[in-house]
Amino acid sequence: MIQTQFFETDNQIIAYEVAGNGPPLLLLHGFPQTRAMWRPLLPALTESFTVVTADLRGYGESSKPSSVAEMSFRRMAKDMVALMTFLGHDAFHAVGHDRGARTAHRMALDYPELVLSLIVMDIVPTEYLLSNMTTEIAKAYYHWLFLAQPHPFPERMIEHDPDAYFERCLLGFGKASLSDFDADLLDLYRTAWRDPDCIRAMCHDYRAAIEVDWADDRVDLDRQVECPSLVLYGKDGAMAHLLDVPATWAERLANMQHAAVDGGHFFPDQSPKTTTDAVLSFMRSV
Protein backbone atom coordinates (compact mmCIF):
# COMPACT_ATOMS: atom_id res chain seq x y z
CA MET A 1 0.00 0.00 0.00
CA ILE A 2 1.30 3.45 -0.95
CA GLN A 3 1.97 5.62 2.09
CA THR A 4 0.81 9.23 2.33
CA GLN A 5 3.64 11.61 3.18
CA PHE A 6 3.75 15.31 3.98
CA PHE A 7 6.15 18.05 2.89
CA GLU A 8 6.33 21.59 4.26
CA THR A 9 7.10 24.52 1.98
CA ASP A 10 6.15 28.20 1.82
CA ASN A 11 4.22 27.85 5.11
CA GLN A 12 2.05 25.13 3.56
CA ILE A 13 1.85 21.37 4.03
CA ILE A 14 1.64 19.32 0.83
CA ALA A 15 0.29 15.76 0.98
CA TYR A 16 1.86 13.41 -1.56
CA GLU A 17 2.59 9.80 -2.48
CA VAL A 18 5.41 8.16 -4.42
CA ALA A 19 5.30 4.84 -6.27
CA GLY A 20 7.14 3.03 -9.05
CA ASN A 21 10.61 3.18 -10.57
CA GLY A 22 12.06 5.10 -13.47
CA PRO A 23 12.14 8.72 -14.64
CA PRO A 24 10.18 11.09 -12.36
CA LEU A 25 6.61 11.88 -13.36
CA LEU A 26 4.51 14.40 -11.42
CA LEU A 27 0.70 14.05 -11.61
CA LEU A 28 -1.49 16.96 -10.52
CA HIS A 29 -5.26 16.75 -10.01
CA GLY A 30 -7.91 19.40 -10.59
CA PHE A 31 -11.13 20.79 -9.11
CA PRO A 32 -12.95 19.38 -7.16
CA GLN A 33 -10.84 16.23 -6.88
CA THR A 34 -7.66 15.17 -5.08
CA ARG A 35 -4.52 13.23 -5.92
CA ALA A 36 -6.65 10.08 -5.57
CA MET A 37 -8.01 10.66 -9.10
CA TRP A 38 -4.82 9.13 -10.54
CA ARG A 39 -5.13 5.77 -8.80
CA PRO A 40 -6.71 3.96 -11.79
CA LEU A 41 -3.73 5.04 -13.95
CA LEU A 42 -0.98 4.14 -11.48
CA PRO A 43 -0.55 0.41 -12.14
CA ALA A 44 0.55 1.02 -15.72
CA LEU A 45 2.44 4.28 -15.13
CA THR A 46 4.47 2.98 -12.19
CA GLU A 47 5.89 0.19 -14.34
CA SER A 48 7.95 2.78 -16.22
CA PHE A 49 8.11 5.86 -13.99
CA THR A 50 8.65 7.03 -10.45
CA VAL A 51 5.22 8.62 -10.05
CA VAL A 52 4.59 11.45 -7.60
CA THR A 53 0.96 12.39 -6.93
CA ALA A 54 0.28 15.42 -4.75
CA ASP A 55 -2.67 17.38 -3.45
CA LEU A 56 -2.49 21.00 -4.56
CA ARG A 57 -2.48 23.49 -1.71
CA GLY A 58 -6.07 24.08 -0.67
CA TYR A 59 -7.18 20.60 -1.73
CA GLY A 60 -7.37 17.12 -0.24
CA GLU A 61 -5.03 16.56 2.68
CA SER A 62 -2.82 19.55 1.91
CA SER A 63 -3.13 22.70 4.03
CA LYS A 64 -5.71 25.36 3.23
CA PRO A 65 -4.37 28.89 2.63
CA SER A 66 -6.45 31.70 4.05
CA SER A 67 -5.84 34.33 1.36
CA VAL A 68 -6.62 34.62 -2.34
CA ALA A 69 -3.03 35.43 -3.35
CA GLU A 70 -1.80 32.22 -1.73
CA MET A 71 -3.94 30.17 -4.13
CA SER A 72 -2.35 31.41 -7.35
CA PHE A 73 -1.02 28.93 -9.88
CA ARG A 74 2.45 30.44 -9.44
CA ARG A 75 2.39 29.58 -5.73
CA MET A 76 1.05 26.10 -6.48
CA ALA A 77 3.79 25.55 -9.07
CA LYS A 78 6.44 26.68 -6.60
CA ASP A 79 5.13 24.11 -4.09
CA MET A 80 5.52 21.29 -6.57
CA VAL A 81 8.98 22.32 -7.70
CA ALA A 82 10.08 22.42 -4.05
CA LEU A 83 8.56 18.98 -3.48
CA MET A 84 10.25 17.42 -6.52
CA THR A 85 13.58 19.00 -5.57
CA PHE A 86 13.19 17.66 -2.03
CA LEU A 87 12.61 14.20 -3.51
CA GLY A 88 15.89 14.49 -5.44
CA HIS A 89 14.52 15.13 -8.93
CA ASP A 90 16.53 17.80 -10.75
CA ALA A 91 14.11 17.59 -13.70
CA PHE A 92 10.84 15.77 -14.25
CA HIS A 93 7.83 15.20 -16.49
CA ALA A 94 4.60 16.97 -15.54
CA VAL A 95 0.99 15.94 -16.14
CA GLY A 96 -2.02 17.90 -14.96
CA HIS A 97 -5.79 17.80 -15.22
CA ASP A 98 -7.93 20.93 -14.83
CA ARG A 99 -6.37 23.18 -12.09
CA GLY A 100 -3.41 20.80 -11.98
CA ALA A 101 -2.88 21.40 -15.70
CA ARG A 102 -2.90 25.16 -15.16
CA THR A 103 -0.37 24.69 -12.37
CA ALA A 104 1.80 22.52 -14.64
CA HIS A 105 1.62 25.10 -17.44
CA ARG A 106 2.74 27.86 -15.05
CA MET A 107 5.51 25.56 -13.80
CA ALA A 108 6.78 25.01 -17.35
CA LEU A 109 6.89 28.79 -17.87
CA ASP A 110 8.56 29.63 -14.57
CA TYR A 111 10.94 26.64 -14.39
CA PRO A 112 11.68 25.62 -18.00
CA GLU A 113 14.94 23.95 -17.00
CA LEU A 114 13.07 21.55 -14.69
CA VAL A 115 10.07 20.45 -16.76
CA LEU A 116 11.14 17.83 -19.30
CA SER A 117 7.69 17.43 -20.86
CA LEU A 118 4.18 18.73 -20.25
CA ILE A 119 0.74 17.16 -20.58
CA VAL A 120 -2.32 19.34 -20.00
CA MET A 121 -5.73 17.68 -19.78
CA ASP A 122 -8.97 19.36 -20.85
CA ILE A 123 -8.13 22.99 -20.41
CA VAL A 124 -7.61 25.99 -22.61
CA PRO A 125 -5.09 28.58 -21.38
CA THR A 126 -6.32 30.62 -18.42
CA GLU A 127 -5.65 33.92 -20.16
CA TYR A 128 -7.43 32.78 -23.31
CA LEU A 129 -10.51 31.61 -21.41
CA LEU A 130 -10.87 34.81 -19.40
CA SER A 131 -10.04 37.16 -22.27
CA ASN A 132 -12.44 35.41 -24.66
CA MET A 133 -15.33 34.75 -22.27
CA THR A 134 -18.52 34.48 -24.31
CA THR A 135 -22.06 33.90 -23.17
CA GLU A 136 -21.76 30.23 -24.16
CA ILE A 137 -18.50 29.75 -22.27
CA ALA A 138 -19.82 31.59 -19.22
CA LYS A 139 -22.91 29.38 -19.20
CA ALA A 140 -20.90 26.15 -19.51
CA TYR A 141 -18.21 27.22 -17.02
CA TYR A 142 -20.35 29.41 -14.78
CA HIS A 143 -18.45 28.12 -11.73
CA TRP A 144 -15.47 30.32 -12.70
CA LEU A 145 -17.61 33.37 -12.00
CA PHE A 146 -19.69 31.97 -9.14
CA LEU A 147 -16.74 30.71 -7.07
CA ALA A 148 -14.88 33.98 -7.67
CA GLN A 149 -17.60 36.03 -5.96
CA PRO A 150 -16.49 37.75 -2.73
CA HIS A 151 -16.20 35.69 0.44
CA PRO A 152 -18.35 34.35 2.05
CA PHE A 153 -21.20 34.32 -0.50
CA PRO A 154 -20.35 31.17 -2.52
CA GLU A 155 -18.94 29.41 0.55
CA ARG A 156 -22.20 29.75 2.47
CA MET A 157 -24.27 28.50 -0.43
CA ILE A 158 -22.01 25.48 -1.03
CA GLU A 159 -21.77 24.59 2.67
CA HIS A 160 -25.55 24.09 2.74
CA ASP A 161 -25.02 20.86 0.72
CA PRO A 162 -21.43 20.32 -0.48
CA ASP A 163 -22.15 16.91 -2.01
CA ALA A 164 -24.97 18.26 -4.13
CA TYR A 165 -22.87 21.15 -5.42
CA PHE A 166 -19.61 19.36 -6.14
CA GLU A 167 -21.25 16.26 -7.57
CA ARG A 168 -23.07 18.59 -9.94
CA CYS A 169 -19.65 19.95 -10.92
CA LEU A 170 -18.45 16.43 -11.70
CA LEU A 171 -21.42 16.00 -14.05
CA GLY A 172 -21.73 19.48 -15.46
CA PHE A 173 -18.65 20.07 -17.63
CA GLY A 174 -19.32 17.42 -20.24
CA LYS A 175 -20.92 14.03 -20.67
CA ALA A 176 -20.63 12.18 -17.34
CA SER A 177 -22.60 10.31 -14.69
CA LEU A 178 -21.70 9.47 -11.10
CA SER A 179 -21.19 5.86 -12.12
CA ASP A 180 -18.18 7.03 -14.17
CA PHE A 181 -16.36 7.75 -10.92
CA ASP A 182 -14.93 5.01 -8.71
CA ALA A 183 -17.10 4.77 -5.57
CA ASP A 184 -14.09 4.68 -3.23
CA LEU A 185 -12.61 7.76 -4.87
CA LEU A 186 -15.93 9.59 -4.60
CA ASP A 187 -15.91 8.92 -0.87
CA LEU A 188 -12.45 10.50 -0.63
CA TYR A 189 -13.56 13.55 -2.62
CA ARG A 190 -16.62 13.98 -0.40
CA THR A 191 -14.50 13.84 2.73
CA ALA A 192 -12.26 16.58 1.31
CA TRP A 193 -14.90 18.94 -0.04
CA ARG A 194 -17.09 18.80 3.05
CA ASP A 195 -14.36 20.67 4.94
CA PRO A 196 -15.31 24.37 5.12
CA ASP A 197 -11.63 25.33 4.85
CA CYS A 198 -11.36 23.34 1.63
CA ILE A 199 -14.48 25.03 0.24
CA ARG A 200 -12.97 28.42 1.05
CA ALA A 201 -9.63 27.51 -0.52
CA MET A 202 -11.27 26.25 -3.71
CA CYS A 203 -13.20 29.50 -3.98
CA HIS A 204 -9.92 31.37 -3.44
CA ASP A 205 -8.44 29.29 -6.26
CA TYR A 206 -11.00 30.72 -8.68
CA ARG A 207 -10.72 34.21 -7.21
CA ALA A 208 -6.97 34.04 -7.75
CA ALA A 209 -7.46 33.00 -11.38
CA ILE A 210 -9.14 36.33 -12.07
CA GLU A 211 -7.32 38.55 -9.57
CA VAL A 212 -3.77 37.15 -9.90
CA ASP A 213 -3.23 34.51 -12.58
CA TRP A 214 -4.86 36.42 -15.43
CA ALA A 215 -2.35 39.25 -15.04
CA ASP A 216 0.56 36.83 -14.62
CA ASP A 217 -0.39 35.12 -17.88
CA ARG A 218 -0.80 38.38 -19.79
CA VAL A 219 2.79 39.26 -18.91
CA ASP A 220 3.92 35.96 -20.47
CA LEU A 221 1.90 36.11 -23.70
CA ASP A 222 5.09 36.43 -25.76
CA ARG A 223 6.64 33.32 -24.17
CA GLN A 224 6.24 29.71 -25.25
CA VAL A 225 6.72 26.46 -23.40
CA GLU A 226 9.65 24.89 -25.22
CA CYS A 227 9.54 21.31 -23.92
CA PRO A 228 7.53 18.61 -25.74
CA SER A 229 3.86 19.06 -24.85
CA LEU A 230 0.65 17.11 -25.26
CA VAL A 231 -2.84 18.60 -25.13
CA LEU A 232 -5.44 15.96 -24.25
CA TYR A 233 -9.14 16.83 -24.11
CA GLY A 234 -12.49 15.08 -23.81
CA LYS A 235 -14.38 14.63 -27.07
CA ASP A 236 -17.65 15.35 -25.28
CA GLY A 237 -16.35 18.08 -22.97
CA ALA A 238 -17.78 21.58 -22.87
CA MET A 239 -14.58 23.14 -24.20
CA ALA A 240 -14.39 20.73 -27.13
CA HIS A 241 -17.93 21.72 -28.10
CA LEU A 242 -17.27 25.44 -27.81
CA LEU A 243 -13.65 25.85 -28.93
CA ASP A 244 -10.89 24.36 -31.03
CA VAL A 245 -8.91 23.30 -27.96
CA PRO A 246 -5.56 22.59 -29.71
CA ALA A 247 -5.76 25.93 -31.55
CA THR A 248 -5.96 27.81 -28.24
CA TRP A 249 -2.56 26.32 -27.33
CA ALA A 250 -0.83 26.64 -30.71
CA GLU A 251 0.96 29.91 -29.92
CA ARG A 252 1.83 28.92 -26.35
CA LEU A 253 3.41 25.49 -26.84
CA ALA A 254 6.38 25.36 -29.21
CA ASN A 255 6.44 21.57 -29.57
CA MET A 256 2.82 20.41 -29.32
CA GLN A 257 0.94 17.20 -29.95
CA HIS A 258 -2.77 16.85 -29.28
CA ALA A 259 -5.46 14.17 -29.07
CA ALA A 260 -9.12 13.84 -28.11
CA VAL A 261 -10.20 11.13 -25.66
CA ASP A 262 -13.65 9.58 -25.26
CA GLY A 263 -15.53 11.30 -22.45
CA GLY A 264 -16.13 14.75 -21.10
CA HIS A 265 -14.03 16.98 -18.87
CA PHE A 266 -13.33 14.09 -16.50
CA PHE A 267 -12.17 11.70 -19.22
CA PRO A 268 -9.35 10.26 -17.02
CA ASP A 269 -12.14 8.80 -14.83
CA GLN A 270 -14.33 7.81 -17.76
CA SER A 271 -11.57 6.38 -19.99
CA PRO A 272 -8.64 5.52 -17.71
CA LYS A 273 -7.03 2.98 -20.07
CA THR A 274 -7.23 5.26 -23.11
CA THR A 275 -5.84 8.11 -21.01
CA THR A 276 -2.99 5.94 -19.72
CA ASP A 277 -2.17 4.73 -23.23
CA ALA A 278 -2.09 8.31 -24.51
CA VAL A 279 0.26 9.38 -21.71
CA LEU A 280 2.59 6.42 -22.23
CA SER A 281 2.63 6.83 -26.01
CA PHE A 282 3.58 10.48 -25.66
CA MET A 283 6.20 9.78 -23.04
CA ARG A 284 7.82 7.18 -25.28
CA SER A 285 7.93 9.71 -28.11
CA VAL A 286 9.88 12.19 -25.98
Per-residue pLDDT tens digits for 109-121 = 999 999 999 999 9
pTM of the entire structure? 0.98
Instruction: Give the model confidence (pLDDT) of 131-151 as tens digits.
Output: 999 999 999 999 999 999 999
Catalytic residue among 98, 213, 216, 269: 98
- For residues 29 and 68, give the distance between their C-alpha atoms in angstroms, rounded to a whole number: 19
**Read out DSSP for 152-175?**
THHHHHHHT-HHHHHHHHHHHSBS
Question: CB neighbours of 34 closer than 8 A, spacing ≥ 6?
Answer: 55, 59, 60, 61, 188, 189, 192
Q: How many CA atoms lie within 13 A of 7 on its CB side?
A: 22
Look up 265 and say whether it is catalytic. Answer: yes
pLDDT at 172: 86
CA angle, 85 then 87 then 92, to 5°:
60
- pLDDT for residue 238 is more than 80: yes
Confidence bin at 1 (pLDDT 50/70/90): confident
Pseudo-torsion of CA 168, 169, 173, 179, nearest 10°? -60
Higher local confidence (pLDDT), 164 or 2: 164
**Structural domains of the chain, ranges and CATH numbers in brackets:** 5-285 (3.40.50.1820)
- For residues 238 and 97, give the distance between their C-alpha atoms in angstroms, rounded to a whole number: 15
- For residues 177 and 167, give the distance between their C-alpha atoms in angstroms, rounded to a whole number: 9
- Mean pLDDT value of segment 69-77: 98
Look up 93 and say whether it is catalytic. Answer: no
- pLDDT for residue 175 is more than 90: no
pLDDT at 9: 97
Higher local confidence (pLDDT), 207 or 174: 207
Distances (CA, A) of 206 to 17, 82, 141, 146: 26, 23, 12, 9
- pLDDT for residue 55 is more than 90: yes
pLDDT at 2: 87
Catalytic residue among 105, 122, 265, 269: 265
DSSP reduced 3-state for 131: helix
